[in-house]
Structure formats: C-alpha cells, structure tokens
Amino acid sequence: MSDAGPLDLAAVEVVIPNLKRRYSGVTAVNRTIAPLIARRCAAVWFGPDRPDGIAGLSAMDLLRLRFRRPTGRPTRIWQARRNSEMLMGLVLKLLGWRLTLIFVSAGQRRKTAYTRFLIRRMDAVIATSAVSASFVDRASTVIHHGVDLDLYQPPPDRAASFAETGLPGKYGIGTFGRVRRQKGSDLFVEAMCRLLPKYPDFTAVIMGHVSVENRAFVDTLKSRIEAAGLSERIVFLGERPIEEAPLWYRRISIYVFASRVEGFGLTLLEAMAAGDAVIATRAGAAELVIDDGDTGFLAPVDDVEALTAAIEPMMRDPGRIATIGESARARVAKDFSRDREADEIVGVYRAVWDETTKA
C-alpha cells in the first residue's frame, strides 16, 4: 500500500492512530515503527505527524471502514498507545466497526482506575518491558523498542560534526526530550553547572519542547545557569524539526538520560546507536539496555551527586568515549533493532487474528 493514490479500504488490516496534536515521545515511537509495520501488512496511519512509508487514513475513510469488511482477515487491528486511542477504538467497536483492539504500554507506574478500565477491554496488550508488563495487571506480550540503525549512526568525524555547530569547545554533551522535571532537566543543568567550569572543552545542549506549564521551571534553570556564568556553554536549542534529531546525536559525544520517571526511554537507544557515551539514571529501560561500565553508565534516580559522579569520568578522559560508544552501538544492533520489533508486533497481530478466526 503506497502513500499516493486512492486507498483500498477493503485491504486495510491495521490502523495505527495518533491522536495527540503536540509532538511527543509516544508519537516519535509510533513514527519510528509504523512504516516497518506497513511493509509487513496493510497498515495505515490515522492522525497528525504521519511519517513517510505508511498511507494516511482520513476521517471520512475511517467512517467508510464501518461498511467495508477487511479482505482475508476476520477483523482489523486498532493499535493504541494512549487512553484517548483506546477509548476511540472501544467506541468504534461498539458502533459496529470490525476491530480487534491492541494496547501498547510503556509506562512504569501504577495505572489510574480509568486507564485500567480501558486496558481490561482491550483484546491484547503489548508491553515494552517486563517492568511495564508488571503494571498492566493482565496478560501481555513483552516486545522491546527498537531503533533505526541506518538513521542513527556515528558520524565519520565527530569533532568536525560538533565544530559545525559553532558552539564553544571541542565536545558536546546533551539531553533531549521535553524540558521538565520528570525528565530530570534540572538534574542535568545542576550537573553541568558543577562540571563545565572544570572541563572547558565541553558545551552542553538541551533540546526539546517547553510547554506553557513548564516555562517557570525553565526560567529557574536559566537563572541557575546565568548565576554560574555558563549561559554560553549550556544552550537551550528549543524544539527542533524531527529530522534534526539524528544530526544532534552525531554532534554530541556524551548523552545524559536523567529521567526521574520514564516509560521506556527511546532516546537511550538513539544515542547508543549514534555511538554516544550514555550516562543514565535507572529509570525506564535503562538497566535493561545498558551494561554499567561497558555500554554506558548508570546512576540512581533523582540523585544529582551520583549523576555528576557518573558523568565526570567521560569528561575527564574523552579518549574513552569512542570505545564506550562502539560497545553501545553493538549492544543496540544485537538486541534492539527496529526490524526485530516490527516482526514481533506483527506476530502478535497474527496470533490475535488466528484466535479470532477460531472463535
């Protein structure tokens, strides 16, 4: 099924909804995996931020699906990642759409009563880690996230890539994602305020969206940076185009994942695939992905002293960064490829279809 031309509605096997207007980590994950699913079955995207490689389903097309039985399948898959998407799938199914509802859960905290209500009504659940599965309160299939190793890869010359930014120093150290307390943005800033004066060859970059409710939080961070005299060496890049993310991973040498609470943490895989040395708190899937001291370094959650101590050895001896980065990329290539993730997700679809046919 191509991106262009009229859509054969009867051929549609899978609908991947994306119902959030503001770009988010969930959207990024959806965009990463959806085109690969579309290569394996007739999948379509419903909502904003559709990536290349998968056809779009309009609201009118979605209405027409009510009257078009899927060809060769007992039902269509509706794959949800948010409460709003689970709810919409339930409503459509109640109104007569032939849908099998699958929820993909990445959260690593107790669900609200409302979320549990929705999950209990799904036909199948995929969890992105064993920890995520433990919070679902029902049987689920664990499928780890994957990353595009062709898109996220080390640069030919990392020093030259960083020099192109025009930022001071020789090396970049960064953290990417929404700028807020949950992501540990304040922990990163505090660690940089302590370390950058000691290591003048480094400049820190913070890339990500700042929501209205977090502007006061960011103003506080900027005041801390200004008081430390580091306004030119701790740089807020803001929200950048999606296409720039791989470029910035190649520009920096060290990536810091400072989250207090995280679902999986796809930026970990992206940074490791790009050959960065990653220092991460033990949130999300960090302990699953990183072999401490080999493919990266781990620190306790919400402990700025420990985080600073974990970062400093790489800044003190940047010659080690390439070795750690090579091990990190090898780890991701072995266990966290995007093709493996897509194959396993489609395997769940087939199992559900088989069960539906038997019923």
Collect all residues with Cβ–Cβ distance below 8 Å to 228 and sequence separation of at least 6: 193, 196, 197
Instruction: Give residue 257's pLDDT.
Output: 97
Residue with tokens 């430390």: 228
Determine how many CB atoms are found less than 10 A away from the CB of residue 211. Answer: 12
Residue partners of 263: CB distance under 8 A and separation at least 6: 25, 26, 106, 107, 108, 128, 132, 284
- CATH number for the domain whose boundaries are 9-146+337-358: 3.40.50.2000
Q: DSSP letters of 41-99?
A: S-EEEESSSPPTTSEE--HHHHHHHTT-PPTTSSSEEEEE-SHHHHHHHHHHHHTT--E
The CATH fold of domain 158-335: Rossmann fold (3.40.50)
Whole-number pLDDT of residue 1: 41
The set of residues, in sequence order, having a beta carbon less than 8 Å from that of 159 and lying 6+ positions away, is 170, 171
pLDDT category at 359 given cuts 50, 70, 90 is low
Does the pTM surpass 0.75? The reply is yes
Coil vs helix vs strand at 200: coil
pLDDT tens per residue across span 304-319: 999 999 999 999 999 9
**Using an 8 Å Cβ cutoff, are 299 and 278 in contact?**
no
Mean pLDDT score of the chain? 94
Nearest to 129 by CA among 347, 341, 357: 341
Rounded Cα–Cα distance for residues 200 and 193 (Å): 12
Residue 5's pLDDT is 57
pLDDT in tens, 229-249: 999 999 999 999 888 999 999
Q: What angle do CA 170, 173, 176 make, to 5 degrees?
A: 140
Mean pLDDT of 93-116: 93
Position 267 confidence tier, pLDDT thresholds 50, 70, 90? very high
State the pLDDT at residue 9.
Answer: 93
Question: For the segment 325-334, what is each residue's pLDDT rounded down to a tens digit?
Answer: 999 999 999 9
Structure tokens at 328: 């990190």
Among 1-15, 119-133, 237-251, 305-319, which range has the highest average pLDDT?
305-319
Greatest Cα pair distance, the chain, in angstroms, is: 68
pLDDT at residue 129, rounded to an integer: 87
Distance CA 282, CA 27 (A): 23
Give pLDDT tens digits for 183-206: 999 999 999 999 999 999 999 999
Tell me: pLDDT of 265 over 80: yes
- Distance CA(207)–CA(72), nearest Å, equals 45
Query: Average pLDDT of 265-273?
Result: 93
Mean pLDDT of 278-294: 94
Total Cβ atoms within 10 A of residue 105: 23
Average pLDDT over residues 204-226: 95
Per cent of the chain over pLDDT 70 is 98
List the beta strands (DSSP E) in the chain.
Answer: 14-17, 43-46, 55-56, 76-80, 99-105, 124-127, 141-142, 171-176, 202-207, 234-238, 254-257, 277-281, 297-299
| Res 143 pLDDT > 60 | yes
Averaged pLDDT for residues 61-80:
94
Read off the amino acid at residue 354.
Answer: D
d(CA 304, CA 292): 18
Where in the chain is CATH 3.40.50.2000? 9-146+337-358, 158-335
Give the pLDDT band (50/70/90) at residue 284. Answer: confident
